[in-house]
Structure 1
Amino acid sequence: MHPRLFQFGHIAIPTYGVLVAIALVAALAMAVHTARRLALDPNKIWNLSLIGIFTALLGSRLILVLVHLSDFLAHPFWMLGLVTIRSRGIVYGGILLAICACIGYILSVGLPLRRTLDCLAPAVALGLAISSLGAFAAGSDYGTPTDKPWGIIYKHGLAALWSGTPLGVRLHPVQPYEALTLFLLLALLLLWLSRQRHDGDVAGTFLFAYGVALYFLDFYRGDRSFVFQGAISLTQILAAALMLAGAALWIRRKPSAL
């Protein structure tokens, strides 16, 4: 694959970083578009999305610093600017902080919670799908070894250096598996938006379906982290939480005013 998109002298522009930036812009545009369809204030949804994005990014970096405080004190600029966050626990911690910040903003400005979640679901699906393609290009979140003909073999040294990807081994392309699942889910969500009768239906469907996909896809990941009792991983625990949250949104639903 191509972990490096461009090279300017000693400065490398990673493909993953560029695609993540594209994913964020696309998700923001989708959120504003969906807000208009659901009769929500696009400016508030824009602000909410920015709060979520920046809290997740800065929160993950803060947790990284706290976990590796001695390294930060020795190399502060390296820790803040150059090091790649590979720990899913740290990334999930940043996402949790972002969720708390977003819920606080939703309540403070009086946005309807369930309909706002419906608005954000397609945007999140689109952003995650594009990010998965970036991970595929970089070799991040690589799959388990396979003998299937559609397996991918990474040969670029930067994939091993930046993401710890095994080179010369045929691997499950788990990132495209996830991207395809998310694009299909995005199409379903957009179709459902025009037909929904209850606030929370779209968000509940996204959370439950993505939780199921995330749970089973994790068995094909070669870098599973925090595996408990040799069976369930931290990612699968998160997936179960997403499924429960999705099911909760289907309960006590109120008819949509749209």
Structure 2
Amino acid sequence: MFPIIKISSEIQIPTYYLVISLTVIICLLWVVRRSHQLHLRQQETLDLSLLIMVFGFIGGRLFHVFYESFDYYRENFSRIFFFWDGGFVFYGGALLAAFADITYLYFKAHDYLEQYLDLLAPVLALGYTLGRTACFLAGCCYGRTCDLPWAIANRHPTQLYAVTWELGVLCILLGLEKSRALHKFFRLPGRIFYSWMILHGIGRLVMEAFRDDFRGPTLEMSISTWISWGVIVFGLILVLKKPLDSDL
């Protein structure tokens, strides 16, 4: 783990926020390039990216505050704004950002909603991969104790499990995108994104099975596990929502 980069005795940079900042820059550059490649409007693409950043930040923070550590913040609600101390939940940010983006697309570019979702899918996979790398460096989201050869600090490197899986998902999505002209099933707009939902949800279930950090009250399974199952089922419904003979 490498949580802090020490520039001097007075200047220290949190590795997590450095990696997240670089992730935002890389993803923004890629999403603009993809908008040109897929012949979609750059303005809408940048608007969607801004919504993801803003509502992802808010949703991730609020989910942590009100679900994971409400008693702590209730003692002093001003702590909610001390985001530099950490405390974000991926699914909280993802769900609120998804709601904001889909609402925007529905009113702004309804006819191209699923094309924009396909544009974002590989970028989201890359962003998640780099984000979990930041978690690994920070030492959060750690796994249960084990004595396996690849254990780190005698624990499952759950962050690296997620990184490895999502890199595979990224490769699959790019492969599907390049070959969609040859595969009738994936020719229908939206199916790349819905495939990401399914694959990401499966990978998250694997990660959750080995995690050991506190993530709020449990209902036999963690809330992230329940959400992952929901994402998988919803993704399957969406990817199969139209018969193959309609994929023209």
The TM-score normalised by the length of structure 1 is 0.81
Q: Kindly indicate whether the alpha-carbon contact (under 8 Å) linking 2:194 and 2:235 is maintained by their aligned counterparts in 1.
A: yes
User: Does 2:38 correspond to 1:38?
Assistant: yes
Matching residue of 2:189: 199
Mark the CA change 1:226 to 1:58 in structure 2 (over 3 Å): closer, same or farther: closer
Distance 2:116 2:214 in 1: 32
Distance 1:195 1:57, change over 3 A: same
User: Whole-Å Cα distance in 2 between the matches of residues 189 and 224 of structure 1?
Assistant: 32
- DSSP-derived class of the 1:5 partner: strand
Give the RMSD, CA atoms, in angstroms.
2.3
CA distance in 2, matches of 1:60, 1:179: 19
Q: Which segment drifts farther, 216-225 or 54-63? A: 54-63
Displacement, 1:229? Answer: 4.3
195, 212, 227: which is aligned to 1:222? 212
Structure 1 or 2: larger helix share?
A: 2
Is the contact between residue 20 and residue 130 of structure 2 (CA under 8 Å) also seen in structure 1?
yes
What secondary structure is seen at the aligned counterpart in 1 of 2:26? Answer: helix
Q: 1:162 aligns to what? A: none
Q: Percent identity?
A: 26
The 3 A distance-change label for structure 1 pair 102 and 210 is same
Q: Deviations over 1:65-116 (max 9, x none)?
A: 77535512xxx3x54135534364xx53343222221111111211522211
* 1:1-258 correspondence to structure 2 within 5 Å: 1-61=1-61, 67=70, 68-72=73-77, 76=78, 79-86=80-87, 88=89, 92-111=91-110, 112-153=112-153, 170-196=154-180, 197-223=187-213, 225-226=215-216, 228-230=218-220, 232-253=221-242, 255=247
Q: 1:26 touches 1:126 (CA, 8 Å); kept in 2?
A: no
For residues 13 and 236 of structure 2, the distance between their equivalents in structure 1, rounded to whole angstroms, comes to: 41
Under a length normalisation based on structure 2, what TM-score does the superposition of the two structures give?
A: 0.84
Structure 2 CA distance, aligned partners of 1:63 and 1:250? 28
- Structure 1 residues 130-150: Cα deviation after superposition (integer angstroms, max 9, x where no partner): 111111111110111110111
Distance (Å, rounded) in 1 between the aligned partners of 2:240 and 2:219: 33
Alignment partners' CA distance in 1, 2:239 and 2:91? 24
User: In 2, are the aligned partners of 1:26 and 1:123 still within 8 Å (CA)?
Assistant: no
CA distance in 2, matches of 1:7, 1:238: 40
1:40 is paired with a residue whose SS is coil
Q: Please say which of residues 136-145 and 221-230 is displaced more in the overlay.
A: 221-230
* Counterpart code for 1:5: I
Unaligned runs of 5+ in 2: 181-186
CA contact (8 A) 2:60 2:88 kept: no
